[in-house]
A = this chain, B = another copy of it.
Amino acid sequence: MDTAHRAKLYEQVAERLGDAISAGTLRPGERLPSVRELSTRERVSISTVLQAYLHLESMGLVETRPQSGHYVRRRERPLPAEPQMSRLVTTASPVSVSAMVARMYRAANDPRMVQLGTAAPSLELLPIQRLNRELAALARKEGAKGMAYDMPPGSPELRRQLARRALEWGCALGAEDFITTIGGSEAIHLCLVAVARTGDTIAVESPAYYGTLRAIEALGLKAVEIPSHPRHGMELEALEAVLNKRRVAAVLVVPSFSNPLGSCMPEENRQRLVRMLAERDIALIEDDIYGDLYFGEERPRPCKAFDTEGNVLLCGSFSKSLAPGYRVGWVAPGRYRERVELLKFAQTCATTTLPQLAIARFLQGGGYDRHLRALRRRVATQVARMTEAIVEHFPEGTRVTRPTGGLLLWVELPSQVDALTLQTRALEVGISIAPGPIFSAQGQHYSHFIRLNCGHPWSPRIEAAMSTLGSLARSFA
């Protein structure tokens, strides 16, 4: 990350300590190393260490006890419980969430808003200069190529890089298996059109990403919402019961760090899901847009890794981890490849040329992997800080997820808090949040839930917004 690379020495020291605190290596109340110890260990000056502690203090992570030293700030209350699993009546419904979504994404264009609504990494965390330098160089050197239509399946350079990465996740895919798209949104949209006809039913997680629900609605499809566990994702027993009862054209899941739950489906469930759908000849649309943002040691293997029938349509994007505004995503549509390619042509004709090439270069040079290593650490810290702020500021009885990847927290507020009213009040004071009802098909569930974007580095501005949000939520008493 540009900012990380330019970070001052004391910030680097502070970040390492902050990570240890977030990871629980250093626990609340624990004494931190003395200034002298840390100075020796980190090979930095005493004043650098003092600056680092001051910085951590300003972030609310550390407290100074006079004559005693520095301590990890003690939580006033323990971490809240996780939200309960959704218990829904699993009927299929036409979807209608549009108007609620509109005011949120409109707020996303307003730089004065504190953006806790749309799921996006802060620009401060992205390698803006380096990627734009690639783009500028390509615009000069490969100008003619950049100006031409890059017809489907899209840039061979980028597809080669995608194939290389897929191999690392356990997917034996070649460049020819990929089609590039306008972000993850287009990939999902194409898959829906490819596998379903109007009136068909798509099984989705509940809660589910509102963009997907919106696409399902626009295409005249129905969504059947499957209860999903905050940690393990879609409940396969519930899914199976639905499949036994009614015709479903496709199942759409976000196995790795689902939106909004942040759940991560265990590998045995992924295998079971792939098998279950292959046996029934039902397509599996796998949205892997958050897959690169794991906090643990290894990237979860996509369901696609267990797909021997070409039955899984794997979708991904660079919007959550690298360059939202470049609009570059991709799909590996398995046996639906030909159909998806033709639909891509009909829908947007081609993907923007130069951004694809710039990303391909960035991947090829190893820049993306280096960036991801730093980004994952930062995002994990941010999720931990946002969780702490919920503990501190939100009303008693609030529950919150414990994601192991992704950018998002799903917050269950006390039942008297109406999320849509909270959204309205928060917008009035310059804070954008995502209200729970947009994550269900007809807006009939999750009326006291909100989703928070943790894409922003912890700052006094975010802390103030979280405090305000907590006060607003308390005012529903």
Contact = CB atoms under 8 A, between A and B. Distances in A.
A136 B351 CA distance: 19
B129 A143 contact: yes
Interface in A312-338: 319, 323-327, 338
Contacts of A146: 128, 132, 325
A145 B132 CA distance: 11
Contacts of A319: 149, 349
A220 interface: yes
B131 A324 contact: no
B189 A342 contact: no
Q: How many copies does the complex hold?
A: 2
A350 interface: yes
Given A139-B136, A198-B199, A327-B350, A152 B215 contact: no
B149 A118 contact: yes
Secondary structure type dominating chain A contacts: helix
B150 A325 contact: yes
Contact of A132 (B129, B147, B217, B219): B147
A135 B132 CA distance: 10
Given A135-B354, A342-B102, A343-B218, A183 B147 contact: no
Contact of A136 (B131, B135, B346): B135
21 contacts: A101-B342, A105-B151, A105-B152, A108-B149, A108-B151, A118-B149, A118-B151, A135-B354, A136-B137, A136-B139, A146-B325, A149-B324, A182-B182, A182-B327, A182-B352, A183-B348, A186-B348, A189-B347, A217-B346, A327-B350, A327-B353
Interface of A: 98, 101-102, 105-106, 108-109, 118, 120, 123, 126, 128-129, 131-133, 135-137, 139-140, 143-152, 182-183, 185-186, 189, 193, 197-199, 211, 214-215, 217-220, 319, 323-327, 338, 341-343, 345-355
Given A120-B149, A217-B346, A352-B355, 14 more contacts: A105-B151, A109-B150, A123-B147, A128-B143, A132-B146, A132-B147, A136-B136, A148-B325, A185-B346, A189-B348, A324-B350, A325-B352, A326-B352, A327-B352
